[in-house]
Amino acid sequence: MKKSEYVKYLVPVVAVLVIAESVVLVTRLGKGGKVVETNGVVAEKSAVKEEKPVATMVVEADKKVMKKGAVATVAVVMSPLEAKKLDAVNLYLKCDTEAFEVSKIVYDARLPKPAFEKVSAQKKMVVANFLITEPEGLAMSSGEKWELVKFEIKAKKTGNFELALSRGEDGRESTTMLVESVSSKALPFSASGLTINVSN
């Protein structure tokens, strides 16, 4: 058999194999697998097991239903589930600045002064980044409650508005993180937000 005839049969066979492999990979992805490509080689990894959270972070408000022009108090409360030492706390709270006027921001007395703080109209967020300068880090223990940030909001327009911690959906630079002192890694935590209804 001539070389051209080999190529004639080989091309369809390779095409079929590639399509079959693609179907297998897509099927496995649908079942929770993770596919990683390294140096052009595709390999399947099983779904990563979720890490146990070291703290819960809850957005609280003294009013979830309010009138336009009314004022409510909002707080982000952290409850550690185990003892840890922190090098940094990066807080990004989604808050529609077109819907609410933010004022009277205060932080937990155990935290240092924020290295960076801003009410961002562009990102519609309340931002506070704390850097811990003590060599041993900032200690937190199970059973404690930390009111990381507390502020007032004044309703400017009607509707339903979510207040929630950003987990990186808006870009990595807007990710809420608890950074461990020893390992410098971001610690896992659970978070819950709330929705405030504003009416006339």
Question: What tens digit of pLDDT does each residue of 76-120 get?
Answer: 999 999 999 999 999 999 999 999 999 999 999 999 999 999 999
In the prediction, which pLDDT does 8 show?
A: 54
| pTM, rounded to two decimals | 0.73
Distance (Å, rounded) from C-alpha 147 to C-alpha 92?
A: 14
In the prediction, which pLDDT does 24 show?
A: 39
Distance (Å, rounded) from C-alpha 132 to C-alpha 90?
A: 11
Domains: count for the chain: 2
State whether 36 and 109 are in the same domain.
Answer: no
> 139: buried, middle or exposed (CB in 10 Å: 19+, 13-18, 0-12)?
middle
In a domain, residue 50? The reply is: no
Distance (Å, rounded) from C-alpha 192 to C-alpha 78?
A: 11
State whether 135 and 91 are in the same domain.
Answer: yes
Residue written as token pair 């957005």: 59
Distance (Å, rounded) from C-alpha 17 to C-alpha 69?
A: 65
State whether 186 and 148 are in the same domain.
Answer: yes
In the prediction, which pLDDT does 193 show?
A: 96
Banded model confidence at residue 169, pLDDT cuts 50, 70, 90: confident
Under 8 Å between Cβ of 117 and 93: no
State whether 108 and 168 are in the same domain.
Answer: yes
In a domain, residue 85? The reply is: yes
- The residue range of the domain holding 91 is 55-199
State whether 41 and 69 are in the same domain.
Answer: no
Per-residue buried b or exposed e for 145-182, using 16+ beta carbons within 10 Å of the residue's own CB = ebbbbbbbbebeeeeebebbbbeeeeeeebebbbbbbe
Average pLDDT for 18-40: 40
Question: How do 84-94 and 125-131 pair as beta strands?
Answer: antiparallel
In a domain, residue 83? The reply is: yes
DSSP letter, residue 46:
P
State whether 160 and 75 are in the same domain.
Answer: yes
Under 8 Å between Cβ of 53 and 188: yes
Half-sphere CA count of 49, side-chain side, radius 13 A:
2
